[in-house]
Amino acid sequence: MDTSCFRFNQPNSFSLANTPTSAPEEFDKEVSKKNVKQLTKRIQALQELMWAEHKQRLLVVLQAIDTGGKDGTIRAVFGRTNPQGVKVKSFKRPTEAELSHDYLWRVHPHVPGNGEIVVFNRSHYEDVLVVKVHEYAPLEVIEKRYQHIRNFEQMLADEGTTVIKIFLHISKDEQKRRLEDRLNQPEKNWKFEMGDIKERSYWDQYQQVFETMIQETSTEQAPWYVVPANNKKYRNEIISSIIVETLEGLNMQWPKPAEGLENIRIE
C-alpha cells in the first residue's frame, strides 16, 4: 500500500473537511484482513530486530476525537509484538501534580529508550486540543505551544528518536453510530461516559483545532498521517503499512555474534 497520500509534510493548504474518512469503494475487507495479518507479522519481526539491535527508538503518537479508534488500533497493529519492547502510554486528565508543572513535564519521561517502540494514546497535543476548545488556558499561552511542540519533537529526532503521528479521522455520523453502540450493547456500556455527549456538541470546534494542530506541527522529522478511520479494517491496513515502512526505513541490523560460536558443541 502506498501511504504517501496520508502523510502531510507541507500542510499549509491542508483542510480536514476535504480529507476522506471512509474507505474507497473498491476496498475489499477480506483481502485487507489477509494483508494486515502479514503486516502485523512483519511488525513483530521488525520489533524483535529493533529490540536486539538496541539502537533505534520509535515514538508513535495517536490522536483522534472520542470514539476515533485509538484503543482498537493499538490492539490490531501492535497486538502481536513482545510487550518487553513495546509500551503504551495513555494520557488521561492531568493530575494535580502534573498541573503544577509545565505541560510537557508529564510527557518526556515516557518517550522511548533504545530498542523501544512507545505508543502514545493521546499525548502532549491535548494541550492544544481540549485545552483550547474549553479555554482552560489563555489563547496567547496556547498559541505558543505549537512552537514548543515542534522544538520538543525536533529535539527527540535529533537525539535519535523516530517520531510519527497519526490522526484517526472519522465522520460525525460514524461517531454517532459508535456512541450508540456503547449505549445499546451491554458489554460496551462501560466505555460510555456522560461527558461524551457534551464533548460531541463541540464537534466543529474540535475539527478546527485538529486541523490547526496538523498545519502547525507536521514536519519532515515528525510528520502527521491523517488516516480515514470510519472503516476499522482499512484503518488497520493503512497504519500497519505505515509502521512497517517506518521500521524498514531504519535499516536495522542484527548484533554481531560473539566470536568462536562455530566451535561450540552442546553436549
- For residue 63, give the 3-state DSSP assignment: strand
C-alpha cell at 75: 490492539
Q: Give yes or no for a contact between 89 and 118, defined as CB atoms under 8 angstroms apart.
A: yes
Tell me whether residue 103 is in a domain: yes
Q: What pTM did the predictor assign?
A: 0.95
- Whether 267 maps to a domain, the answer reads no
Let me know if residue 265 belongs to a domain.
Answer: no
For residue 218, how many other CB atoms are within 10 A of its CB?
22
Question: Looking at the domain assignment, is residue 152 inside a domain?
Answer: yes
The pLDDT score that the predictor gives to residue 12 is 67
Listed as ranges, residues in the chain with pLDDT below 70 are 10-12
Asked, for residue 209, whether it belongs to a domain, the answer is yes
264 in any annotated domain: no
**In the chain, how many domains are there?**
1
Domain that holds residue 76: 4-252
Please give the backbone phi and psi of residue 37, each rounded to the nearest 5 degrees, phi first: -60, -45
Task: Identify the helix (H) or strand (E) that includes residue 180.
Answer: helix 172-184
Report, in angstroms and rounded to the nearest whole number, the Rg of the chain calculated over CA atoms: 20
- pLDDT value of position 262: 81
Its sign, for the CA torsion 177, 180, 182, 184, is negative
Amino acid making up residue 256: K
Task: Tell me the CATH number at 180.
Answer: 3.40.50.300
Per-residue pLDDT tens for 192-237? Answer: 888 889 999 999 999 999 999 999 999 999 999 999 999 999 999 9
In the chain, the N- to C-terminal Cα span, in Å, equals 48
| Strands of the sheet with 57-64, listed across from one edge | 7-8, 224-228, 161-169, 57-64, 117-121, 86-90
**45 vs 91: CA distance, rounded Å:** 28
Q: What are phi and psi of 259, to 5 degrees?
A: -70, 145
Q: Cell 510487550, residue?
A: 83
Please check whether residue 43 lies inside any domain of the structure.
yes
What is the model's pLDDT at position 193?
Answer: 85
Query: Which cell numbers in the block locate residue 4?
Result: 504517501
| 87: in domain | yes
User: Who's near 31: CB < 8 A, 6+ residues apart?
Assistant: none
**90 φ/ψ angles, rounded to the nearest 5 degrees:** -100, 130
Contact predicate 106/94, CB 8 Å: yes
